[in-house]
Structure formats: C-alpha cells, structure tokens
C-alpha cells in the first residue's frame, strides 16, 4: 500500500507517518520510484503499536524507541524476560518526594510474603510512589499497603498466565512490555468501577 | 510565615507559590503590609496538595481546580460521595480507540459478578482503555479481564475501608479523590514488583 493508505489504515495523518519514519520508529517502505514507496502489513502493525504507545500509553518518543529496541532484540529464552521488559519500560512517573517511605514499604511487602530484591528499579519506583501519596495526605499504612500488594499479586498472576500462552519468547516480551503499559489504564478504570460496585454493595 | 518560608516548607520555588496564588489554587495570605502577607499551616497543606497533584499525579491545573472545588463543597452525607469524587477526577487518559469493546467488557464484568450501571463515566473509560489495549495487540480476553476485575475489587475494598475510617464526609471525600489519583502509581509499581516476585516463584 502507499503511504496515504498506510496512514488511513493506521488512523493517523500522513504527516504523522512521515514523522515516525524520520524518527526511525517506523521502518522504511520498499522504494518503487524515486518518490514512492510501498508499505506492507508489518508497517501497519508497527504504526498501530507506536500510535498506541504514544496516544494511549502516554509515552514519549524516547520511551517508545527503547521499547521498540527491546522488541527487536528479544532474549533467546524466557529467562530474564521480565528483567529486559522492566528495563525498557518507562518508570512509573513520580518525582522527588520530600522524604522516604522505605521502611513502611519493606514491612508491607514482608507482610504480604514477598521476597523482595532490595535494589530493583520497580521497588524504588514503588517507594517513591508511596512517599508521594503520603506527602499528599493519603493515609497509606503498612496494613493497607500489604492488602494492595496481595491484590496486585493476583493481577501479576493474570499477566504471567497471558505471557505463558505466548508462542515465542519474542511474542512473550512484546506482551509483557506492551501489556504492562496498556493494561495500567484498564486497571485504573476497573478500580473506579469496582469502587462504585463495592460502595453500592455495602 | 512569609511567602519565602512557605515556598521552602512546601519544597517549591517562590515563583511557583505566586503562580498558584494568581491561579487561585492557593488562598491569599493575611496581608501584614502593602507588599507582605502572612501564611499559615492551612496554606502549607494546600500547597503540598496542589504540588502533589501536579507533580506526582500528573494533573493539569484545570483538573486540580475541579478537585479543589469538590473538596471545598463536600456533600452533607457520605451518600453520593463516590459520585462526586468520580466526577471531579480526570478521566483515565485514553483517546479515540478505533473500535469498541463493549461486549467483552460487559461479559467480563458479569462473569466477575458486578452489577454495572451501563452509563457511568468509569465504565466508558474502561471500555476505551480495553479497546486501546486490544488495538495495541494485547490479548485481553473476557476471561483475563474478569480475573483483573476480581483483583481490582480487592483494591476497591481497601480503598473504601480507608475512606470508612475518615472522621468526616469532607475528609472522606478528600481521601477518595486524592487517594484515587495518588494510589494509581502505587498500584502500577506494585504490579511490576509483583510480576518479578510471581515470576521468581514459578
């Protein structure tokens, strides 16, 4: 298909396709003349992925590029899949809290029965997010944090079951990376609906 | 305290305090001379809240203003607290998906045993988020969505227990609104840690 057809099928303006091509987020088409190129389904898949990550995932181009790089060089086995995925994912956006909440987080995770590595990037994001919430006056105790942790463990089980069904390590990596970014808003929306359902129930 | 002391205590530059004052996000201090004003702890609490919502919650000033308005006019009873809270909260950020996923969402929520109102803002955010994730190639089935729903119901139970402990309807509203925004990143970070823990466990 031509660039205009690719843009139509991907639901973006032609100038966005050209922008992604210039930025290297979309691979070049097969040149058919000096000014024309032909694009295939692999371009459309890539265009949809980039568009989703930017528009719905709210990621910057640097984050998208890091994710695409990870997807293009998948690990040979499923071992370390999560490590690669978490490195390519943008950190949960939280900035410089005024004080740390290390102790309450580590105690809560111990209560939830999690053997936590003390130096992972996910844990430091967690500590910063908890500190920011407490700074904003949210009463996030060790007890409620442990209960949140147990609930999110169930979410992670679903995540890993879905990954386990993937036919290859490359596809599994794609699901972890894209699924982690794109399912966060699904979970946030489910939480709001669940609050209403639970409130009506009480 | 003076404006410079207020800024120091709140961890922001003086020009940010002035900006919040100009935008009406922070109430004026008590004038002590033609060019000076005195600020108290209520100003510091408000400054910290605004800063948290903007920096950590990632909200725009219009969203912050809507939340502050809701906090200033709390409902007389706890009845409808969630309705007011959800209206003041910014929608989960998802834009124009290419096709709808109404059916799979409604089936999944029915599987999870949720009696869902078909026209709430939270439900339409959910449908858009699911559609966007599926557009991006995340295999989000009715079955996995129902499992996510059950996990998020547990999250909502913690949310409502924390709210139930609040001493007044005004404080309860503050916790729902601020807690929903500020705990989302905590849950996202917990999910990533849980993925690692669960993966190591398998």
pTM: 0.71
Tokens of B186: 């905590």
Q: Which chain A residues are closer than 8 Å to B178 by Cβ?
A: 136-138
pLDDT of residue A180: 79
**Which of A126, A186, A197 has its CB closest to that of B148?**
A186
pLDDT of residue A98: 45
Nearest CA in chain B to A159: B195
Contact between chains at B193 and A116 (C-beta distance less than 8 A): yes
Q: What is the predicted ipTM?
A: 0.71
Size of interface A-B (CB pairs under 8 A): 291
| Tens digit of each residue's pLDDT (9 = 90 or more) over A7-18 | 999 889 999 999
Long-range contacts of B4-8 (CB under 8 A, 24+ apart): B5/B39, B6/B39, B6/B43, B6/B44, B6/B47
Contact between chains at B126 and A186 (C-beta distance less than 8 A): yes
Contact between chains at B193 and A126 (C-beta distance less than 8 A): yes
| Tens digit of each residue's pLDDT (9 = 90 or more) over A131-187 | 878 877 788 899 999 999 999 999 999 988 887 777 776 677 777 777 877 888 899
Q: Which chain A residues are closer than 8 Å to B45 by Cβ?
A: 137
| Tens digit of each residue's pLDDT (9 = 90 or more) over A17-34 | 999 999 889 999 999 988
Is B80's pLDDT higher than 80? no
Q: Where are the alpha helices (DSSP H) in B11-141?
A: 14-22, 41-51, 61-72, 81-88, 102-111, 121-135
Query: B117 falls in which pLDDT band (50, 70, 90)?
Result: low
Q: Specify the DSSP class assigned to residue B91.
A: P
Q: Which chain B residues are closer than 8 Å to A183 by Cβ?
A: 133, 138, 140, 148
Long-range contacts of B160-168 (CB under 8 A, 24+ apart): B160/A195, B160/A198, B160/A199, B160/A202, B161/A144, B162/A139, B162/A144, B163/B81, B165/A139, B168/B74
| Tens digit of each residue's pLDDT (9 = 90 or more) over A109-146 | 999 998 876 556 678 888 888 887 887 778 889 999 99
Longest CA span, chain B: 68
Contact between chains at A157 and B198 (C-beta distance less than 8 A): yes
Instruction: Specify the 3-state DSSP secondary structure of A46.
Output: helix
pLDDT of residue A97: 46
Nearest CA in chain B to A137: B49
């Amino acid at each position: 298909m031509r660039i205009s057809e690719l843009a139509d099928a991907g639901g973006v303006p032609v100038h966005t396709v050209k922008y992604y091509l210039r930025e290297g987020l979309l691979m070049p088409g097969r040149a058919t003349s000096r000014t024309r190129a032909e694009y295939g389904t692999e371009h459309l898949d890539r265009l949809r992925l980039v568009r989703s990550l930017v528009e719905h995932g709210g990621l910057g181009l640097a984050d998208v590029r890091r994710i695409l790089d990870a997807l293009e060089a998948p690990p040979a086995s499923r071992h370390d899949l999560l490590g690669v995925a978490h490195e390519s994912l943008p950190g949960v956006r939280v900035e410089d809290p005024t004080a740390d909440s290390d102790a309450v987080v580590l105690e809560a995770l111990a209560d939830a029965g999690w053997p936590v590595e003390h130096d992972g990037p996910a844990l430091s994001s967690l500590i910063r997010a908890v500190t920011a919430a407490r700074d904003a006056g949210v009463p996030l105790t060790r007890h409620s944090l442990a209960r949140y942790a147990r609930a999110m463990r169930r979410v992670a089980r679903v995540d890993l079951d879905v990954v386990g069904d993937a036919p290859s390590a490359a596809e599994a990596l794609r699901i972890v990376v894209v699924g982690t970014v794109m399912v966060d808003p699904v979970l946030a929306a489910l939480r709001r609906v669940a609050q209403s359902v639970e409130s009506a129930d009480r």
